[in-house]
Structure 1
Amino acid sequence: MQFTTYQSDMTKSTTFQRDLSSNALKYIALIAMFVDHLVAGFIPQETYAGFVLRIPGRVVAPIFCYFIAMGYFYTSNVYKYIERLVIFAAISHFPYVLYFKLPWWKTTSVMWGLALGLIALTAVKSEKLSIYVKLALVFVCCMLAYPADWNYVAVLWIVFFGIFRGQFNKQIISFVFIGLFVHIIPEITRLGWHHAYQIGIFLAIPLLVMYKGRRGRKSNLLKWGFYVFYPLHLIILYFLKYYIFA
């Protein structure tokens, strides 16, 4: 991620004490995801504990959608970036459906939605495509993302985070609008009020506010660790669940 330039050493020192690096945000997201999936697998969602404990985990998808969108502008090869996401979407598929006891042919993990979101953003930012082709490709990506966790919501978040890059207020307004009218309200309408924990997506806003563009330490271990963690933690939780309930 791009480093923010500060006007003075004093401002720089003060800001860096208060901001979060991209690595820090990703660590927060990974921990929240692990806890959220642990709760989802072991505590009934209809209970008060299940409802409350799943709220913090809603920050995960917005954070990763944001970094997927920003990654588009900083990657040296967007097609290899897309390829990595597609590969890990394939790797993550069976750990995801096995852990959550879902039909393997009907649904898949959020990694697929993230890959399609990046494809949609790449199409939108292309100078070779007409506006009609861009809209058509975004629509196709949304439809293809429907079986994925976070479905076309992830695609739309990535596209609008990318469109409004550098305009944080517009990014947040679009994030809230999509989250509320495309995700939260339909989710509650379709599945009931015990899914109102989805309001937790708005907890991502203060975290993103604290991100000022600082990347943090760069290493291949961290780079690949963020990809590997997703299927790996599902495999660990699956065997933990199997061992406990066997």
Structure 2
Amino acid sequence: MFKVEERRIASNLDTNFLKIIAIIAMTFDHTGKILFPDVLYFQIIGRIAFPIFAYCIVVGCLYTHDIKKYILRLFIFALISQPIYALANHPTWNGFVENIFIWNIFFTLIIGLSVVYGLKDRKWWISVLGLLVVGLFNFDYGIDGVILMIVFFLCRNNPIISATIIGVLLSIPFFLGNDLMILGVSIGKQGFAILSLPFIYINTNLNPRVNKYVFYAFYPVHLLVLYFIQIFIY
């Protein structure tokens, strides 16, 4: 884990722990969407996953020794995951064909990583190109996800400002959606992403040892399992 004197971002650097939390939440989310679409609480738990992944990408950008290898690893698993992602979410042939070009979260993370890298190294054209691409094509979480990564990066040395801005951005969907009623008030489930903030801004220092490829491989593997469950059991 990173030493205190090496810190390049003033928030939680316990990224392996954060990734474990994120993949657990993601599993709840996808299980809910694919197998139990009427049980919103699965997807509510899942809302915390993407902000944590976005934050970890920014940490990775700040600490990686080779940005090209980092992007290449993400790209390989993005390609592996794409047909599985389309199948799991749209298990019919027509649904698969119609949605094969809705790009999975790995592609979104690659774009966000590229934009942040361009800002960090002042290669502005990379950041502009990344924003254009994510705006023109259909990415999971899209431009909203990339904006989160930009804020994490720009406010990396001031966790109070960062948490405030991120908190506002994540809570906006509370007021825009009508997914469920709480105390007579209609709110959007996406707003529960704000529950990711304690994980991101409170230092945990648990430092679990997990091979990085486990995190990469988990995404396509769990989607493939969910696909087979819905095809052969449901």
Same fold judged by TM-score > 0.5?
A: yes
Provide the C-alpha distance between the structure 2 equivalents of 1:237 and 1:24, rounded to a whole number of angstroms. 24
The alpha-carbon distance between structure 1 residues 107 and 184, as it changes in their structure 2 partners (threshold 3 A), is farther
Percent identity over the alignment?
29
Provide the C-alpha distance between the structure 2 equivalents of 1:42 and 1:157, rounded to a whole number of angstroms. 29
Provide the C-alpha distance between the structure 1 equivalents of 2:13 and 2:57, rounded to a whole number of angstroms. 17
Three-state SS of the structure 2 residue aligned to 1:79 is helix
Provide the C-alpha distance between the structure 2 equivalents of 1:60 and 1:242, rounded to a whole number of angstroms. 26
Gaps of 5+ in 2: 6-11, 181-186
Superimposed CA distance per residue, residues 28-68 of structure 1 (whole angstroms, 9 cap, x where no aligned partner): 111111121111111133xxxx2222111101000010000
Three-state SS of the structure 2 residue aligned to 1:52 is helix
TM alignment of 1:168-187, pairs within 5 A:
168-181=159-172
**Aligned residue for 1:43?**
36
Aligned amino acid, residue 197 of structure 1: K
Gaps of 5+ in 1: 6-18
Match of 1:201 among 193, 202, 210: 193
Three-state SS of the structure 1 residue aligned to 2:99 is coil
**Aligned residue for 1:23?**
16
What is the Cα deviation at residue 184 of structure 1?
5.8
Say which is worse superposed, 33-42 or 226-235, in terms of deviation.
33-42
The alpha-carbon distance between structure 1 residues 193 and 105, as it changes in their structure 2 partners (threshold 3 A), is same
- TM-score norm. by structure 2 comes to 0.82
**Aligned residue for 2:58?**
69
The alpha-carbon distance between structure 1 residues 140 and 160, as it changes in their structure 2 partners (threshold 3 A), is same
**Aligned residue for 1:114?**
109
Superimposed CA distance per residue, residues 186-229 of structure 1 (whole angstroms, 9 cap, x where no aligned partner): 6x3xxx545811121011011113235x472456xx21110010
Contact 1:110 1:148 in 2 (8 A): yes
Q: Higher helix proportion, which one?
A: 1
Provide the C-alpha distance between the structure 2 equivalents of 1:78 and 1:215, rounded to a whole number of angstroms. 26
- TM-score norm. by structure 1 comes to 0.78
Work out the number of aligned pairs and report it. 216
Contact 2:32 2:43 in 1 (8 A): yes
What is the Cα deviation at residue 244 of structure 1?
1.0
Root-mean-square deviation over aligned CA pairs:
2.5
Provide the C-alpha distance between the structure 2 equivalents of 1:73 and 1:226, rounded to a whole number of angstroms. 19
Q: Does 1:104 align with 2:95?
A: no
What is the Cα deviation at residue 112 of structure 1?
0.8
Contact 2:13 2:59 in 1 (8 A): no
Provide the C-alpha distance between the structure 2 equivalents of 1:67 and 1:155, rounded to a whole number of angstroms. 13
Three-state SS of the structure 1 residue aligned to 2:3 is coil
Provide the C-alpha distance between the structure 2 equivalents of 1:85 and 1:209, rounded to a whole number of angstroms. 25
